[in-house]
Chains A and B, each alone.
Chain A
Amino acid sequence: MLNTLRNRFEQGYRTSAYPKEPIELPARYRGRPVVNPDASGDDAVQCAEACPQAAIDAENRTVDMGRCVFCGYCERLSDGRFVSFTQDFELGTADRTHLITAGDLPDLADHSERHFRKLFGRSLQLRQVSAAGCNACEADLNVLATPFFDLARFGINFVASPRHADGIVVTGPISRNMKTALMETYDATPAPKVVIAVGACAISGGPFYGSPEVSEGLESLLPVDLFIPGCPPHPLTNLHALLTFFK
């Protein structure tokens, strides 16, 4: 008993004040990419050709955050002349096309459907489905339950059954072998329901694009309400998107 109490005091209070107070991530964290409109055509083409995720459009000067894994190779290659990554982790969008960006993202709150806030603003129960996810997205959703993030204080929980859920959160590139199970989980969730795609895989196939065993993204199968990019998205990216979209 004494030992339990001693540990309790040593651990202290750990819950983050975000979103009431801003929070800063370490310098090497790569968040929202910004394209320099004045960059030379050569730099743009070089970065587009070198991008392992084929996420850069040299002509339109955009980065597709739905394909990008935020490795930062393009930033290094152009020495920041073409793309640079900011510390901004607030990356969620309500539309797939918003992820194709030169650096500006529309305010997520403006694109949230009014009835979602009314229905789910005070209580949102989500069922997570991993469909060939590598366990990084899953792990960084799971941590939202730890004391630092403490998702439950906002009335948001991950539940065990789709029957108890207001929506599904999908991770992974949706393998052929998981497609039916995913669709059945979606069908088992009572309407009205939301669909959230978390991570580059769920949005576009991510690192596995081109494999005949995976899909090209969740939107090819289901209507998606919220897109959260990253490989994996930082837990704060997830938290920001959920709070901004539903609260």
Chain B
Amino acid sequence: MKTAFTEITNGKPTERAAIPHLPFPDFRREALAIVQGGGRVVHFFGYEESDAVKLMAVLRDDDRLLAAGCDAPEAYDALTRECEPFHMFEREIAEQFGIRPEGHPWLKMVRYHPNYRSAPDVFGNDYGEDIPGRYDYYAVDGEEIHEVAVGPVHAGVIEPGHFRFNCIGERVLHLEIHLGYQHRSVEPLLTGNDYRRWPIIVEGIAGDTAIGHGLCMAQAVEGLTDLEVDAGARISRTIALEFERIANHVGDLGALSGDVAFLPPANYCGRMRGDFLNMSLWMCGNRFGKGLVRPGGVRFPMTDEDRKVLTGRIDELQPQVAHVIGLLFGTSSVRARFDGCGAVSRSDAGHLGLVGPAGRACGLPYDARRVFPTENYRRLSIPENAEPTGDVYARAKIRGDEVLQSIDLIRSMLRNPVETAIIEEWPKDFAPGAVVATVNEAWRGEVSHCLITDDAGKVVRYKIKDPSFHNWNGLAMSLRDTGISDFPLNNKSYNLSYCGFDL
């Protein structure tokens, strides 16, 4: 497809002058054409420069990342009116910069904070008031309609968020998910502080995705400072990302089993998840992999002894994991609850822009490890996973399959003894006037960071996108016409990040 957007490479900086800066109408038309033609939104965000707000979009089609920018009008015709995947991004721009997308069908705040340039507030909020301010919950009218409000503090050891169900009897007509309670202002915290704090901050964007976000940051800095990462470090980082995937998937399969009252896998998976976290602990001293990845490589070596220990543990665990997954999917009472529950159609998944296992469960096979490979993924063969049914079963099945695939990937990498240099120093001198976007497939799906530097090489904009930014609306869609008692089951099948969304 011919487009005014320009192709950029994952992790490689592009001179800002080489990225088309279009008149707004052209930018709008071209962006819509790409996404309406089957493309997806990776980033669409605002940034401030010499007191003016500019917009930048990074889109993807089948195998390319495409970027362009424009000056931001104070108000403009919302892209979402014609193309739903822009929905969350336009709300975020409105909240961060006070730019109004006219005619946006669902123009509500995202995280509840004053905008960055003290412009008039798009939502009419006074932020002296507690969250949610002037937030209009969607309400269904009718004599027998009732609402159920849950959160922000939930009944388990989990993060906060507010869920508002409109029900008729036990049937949910609509679920509105309202977040923002976890907002820590991560993006301005990064640009406003010493680079030395970056690794520690990004590992806390979502602690269960410390490697995913850590890699996006490290690759962006490596791109901007032209730093080579040795082959051993690339393997260690890939192993760490796969351990993160396995631990989270295994934990969630156990939680799903617990939610349908089949307790054996719930307990076994809880324990086995810990065994995988303990392998991250073995690699770097932290169960979540915090402290392992840094720009330039890794902080801990992978010795022959490490390879031997990890291989031994995996050899012991692999059959246990396979048998428990077999037990879960082979139990008819489990299948009876998973099958058909919370189904999202492939077409809806496309409109919502679902990514990761949530998207693959709806028949969208996109996996950044295959399409935009980083680290060691170019040397690995990542199977194409897709399930047609879009229900709890499909989401669980994808995750179960990925666990076993990832175990094989790690085993194959552990057979490959490659020396690793240990790095500790922070690189200097970022490329001036550059844009870099990094994309990785973490366990929830596409994680991406996009950095823009000024003429002096200072990072003026650090944009973060967690896959949960795409996927929370998938959970809301799953609940349409579903019994309210199936909410926990659906929620666990996605297990989305509150803090990754709230930033």
Contact = CB atoms under 8 A, between A and B. Distances in A.
B183 A158 contact: no
Nearest to A180: B130
Q: How large is the interface on A (under 10, 10 to 19, 20 to 34, 35 or more residues)?
A: 35 or more
Contact of A134 (B111, B185, B206, B320): B206
Interface in B168-188: 180-186, 188
Given A139-B207, A160-B156, A231-B290, A52 B200 contact: yes
Nearest to B213: A134
A71 B291 contact: yes
Nearest to A169: B157
Given A71-B291, A213-B113, A161 B155 contact: yes
B160 A52 contact: no
B200 A69 contact: yes
A244 interface: no
A135 B197 contact: no
B160 A146 contact: no
Given A52-B194, A173-B184, A181-B181, A128 B291 contact: no
Interface string A138-169: 11111101111000000000101110000000
A145 B274 CA distance: 11
Interface in A7-45: 7-8, 10-11, 14, 25-26, 28-30
Interface residues of A, dominant DSSP: mixed
B351 to A, nearest CB: 28
Given A7-B264, A147-B267, A136 B208 contact: yes
B158 A53 contact: no
Interface in B116-161: 130-131, 152-153, 155-160
Contact of A146 (B157, B189, B271): B271
A142 B156 CA distance: 9
Interface in A202-247: 206-208, 210-214, 231-232, 234
A76 B268 contact: no
B155 A136 contact: no
Nearest to A144: B157
A4 B394 CA distance: 23
Contact of A132 (B157, B181, B210, B330): B181
A147 B181 contact: no
Interface stretch (B230-238, B276-284, B357-365): B276-284
Contacts of B131: 177, 180
A28 B184 CA distance: 30
Contacts of A176: 183
B485 interface: no
B80 interface: no
A129 B264 contact: no
B401 interface: no
A206 B204 contact: yes
Interface in B214-250: none
B203 interface: yes
A7 B327 CA distance: 8
Given A132-B181, A143-B274, A207 B197 contact: yes
A197 interface: no
Given A26-B282, A134-B499, A213-B113, A72 B270 contact: no
A130 interface: yes
A92 interface: no
B112 interface: yes
Given A8-B264, A11-B320, A28-B284, A208 B204 contact: yes
Interface in B381-397: none
B152 A181 contact: yes
A209 B183 CA distance: 13
B308 interface: no
B284 A210 contact: no
A143 B111 CA distance: 29
A50 interface: yes
A66 interface: no
B206 A7 contact: no
A132 B197 contact: no
Contact of B185 (A26, A172, A211): A211
Nearest to B151: A181
Contact of B271 (A147, A181, A185): A147
A212 B207 contact: no
Nearest to A140: B287
A162 B158 CA distance: 14
A207 B288 CA distance: 15
B453 interface: no
A148 B273 CA distance: 11
B193 to A, nearest CB: 7
Given A129-B160, A160-B156, A210-B193, 18 more contacts: A4-B264, A10-B323, A14-B271, A26-B285, A30-B285, A52-B199, A132-B502, A133-B182, A135-B498, A161-B155, A175-B502, A206-B204, A207-B204, A208-B184, A210-B192, A213-B185, A231-B286, A232-B207
28 contacts: A6-B323, A7-B323, A10-B320, A11-B320, A25-B281, A30-B286, A52-B197, A53-B200, A71-B200, A128-B156, A130-B157, A132-B182, A134-B205, A134-B207, A134-B499, A135-B206, A141-B157, A145-B270, A146-B271, A146-B273, A160-B155, A160-B156, A172-B182, A176-B183, A207-B200, A214-B184, A214-B185, A232-B207
Interface of B: 111-113, 130-131, 152-153, 155-160, 180-186, 188-189, 192-194, 196-197, 199-201, 203-208, 210, 251, 264-265, 267-268, 270-271, 273-274, 278, 281-288, 290-291, 299-300, 319-320, 323-324, 326-327, 330-331, 424, 497-499, 502
